[in-house]
Homo-oligomer: A and B are copies of this chain.
Amino acid sequence: MVKALTIALDAMGGDAAPKMVVRGASIALERFPEIRFLMFGQEREMAPLLKGKKALLAASELRHTEDVVSSDAKPSVALRGGRKSSMRLAIDAVHNGEADCVVSAGNTGALMAMAKFVLKTLPGINRPAIASFFPTLRGESVMLDLGANVLCDAENLIDFAVMGNAFARSVLGLQVPTYALLNVGSEEIKGHESLQEASAVLRASNLPGRFLGFVEGDDIGKGTADVIVTDGFTGNVALKTAEGTANLINEYLRHTFRTSLLAGLGYLLARPAMKKLRERVDPRGYNGAMFLGLNGIVVKSHGGTDALGFANAIGVAVDMHRHGIIEKIRSDLSLLDRNSGNAQAAVV
């Protein structure tokens, strides 16, 4: 029997909240009948949405709160003023043991600030990171950090490697994931010093995965490594550049099929296959950015997602909990010898 697990939902976060949250919870419940929800949000908005949804009502507890963190609120402001917000109360529920994970499609910066403040980082981790899946030629990989930390030193990169490695072993189900540091490839350019230092420590470590050293930007799509480790600035730019390139090619493709009658006919014939292609790169399939390194499971759904995407984000939280990611990170941290790269031991 699978043990019940409770997910705290920030029902008010996201462009289409709370409707998309409630619908997403319904979809997730069909997939994981054993989960329970603790929903935080405005009752008058949510009650009508829940009406008639028997299974969901039976699996959910609704807690009313008036406050909502706006999507453009500064994290520091949200942290001070949003103590009764749906986002904050959902995080609090994880902290006080009422819930096992929290999922929100709200303001990323505010969610990270609140999660750090309430849940704290794991012992041995200085800074949490944002991680996400992405499709590759070989399947899917995970990359971190995607924007939580603009400036990263060697210590941070090492922490991210540990966290990403544990994630790949739990959620991606890989026994010996490969992991690598994102760098530039020319001979002359050897990357920042922090990359060299992190590389030395990781090479000397006994982490369960296999360290590949440095990879380059084109290795992301190739799937050269299961885990790509980088600083939040580079990771954010790389992720968005990949999105932009995918959109560009999509647009070119649309245009291509419209250039002639024959091409249009070709598209009609290829349509079922093209639909599969779209599903394969559907961003909703990769929805759910994981906040790793915290004393609790926090998943950030894309703010613009729909119910299906939100359900997938809930699925990621379920996977993280089931596979004991936090325990894995904890135990892996002990396998590092941080002095092997002349890096300072992390001070917590």
Query: A: which residues have CB within 8 A of B?
Result: 72, 74-75, 107-109, 112-113, 135-137, 147-148, 150-151, 182, 184-192, 216-222, 230, 232-234, 236-249, 251-253, 256-257, 259-260, 262-263, 265-274, 276-277, 280-281
Contacts and interface: CB of A to CB of B under 8 A. Distances in A.
Given A232-B184, A240-B217, A273-B260, A245 B247 contact: no
Contact of A243 (B217, B268, B273, B281): B217
B277 A273 contact: no
Nearest to A146: B184
Contacts of A251: 137
29 contacts: A108-B186, A109-B189, A112-B188, A137-B248, A147-B189, A150-B189, A184-B232, A184-B233, A184-B236, A184-B237, A185-B240, A217-B237, A217-B241, A218-B241, A218-B243, A221-B241, A222-B247, A222-B248, A237-B237, A241-B242, A245-B249, A249-B281, A252-B281, A262-B269, A263-B274, A265-B270, A266-B269, A266-B273, A267-B270
Contacts of A217: 236-244
Nearest to A260: B273
How many copies of the polypeptide does the oligomer hold?
A: 2
A184 B263 contact: no
Nearest to A182: B237
Contacts of A241: 217-218, 220-221, 238, 241-242, 245
A240 B221 CA distance: 10
Contact of A192 (B108, B137, B151, B220): B151
Nearest to A219: B244
B266 A184 contact: no
A268 to B, nearest CB: 7
A72 B187 CA distance: 8
Contact of A276 (B113, B259, B277): B259
Contacts of A182: 237
A240 B266 contact: no
A216 B240 contact: yes
Contacts of A249: 245-246, 249, 281
A234 B230 CA distance: 11
Contact of A237 (B232, B234, B265, B271): B234
Given A218-B240, A218-B243, A221-B248, 4 more contacts: A217-B243, A219-B244, A265-B269, A266-B273
A259 B273 contact: yes
Contact of A245 (B108, B242, B265): B242
B252 A277 contact: yes
A218 B237 CA distance: 8
A281 B248 CA distance: 10
A182 B108 CA distance: 20
A247 B276 contact: no
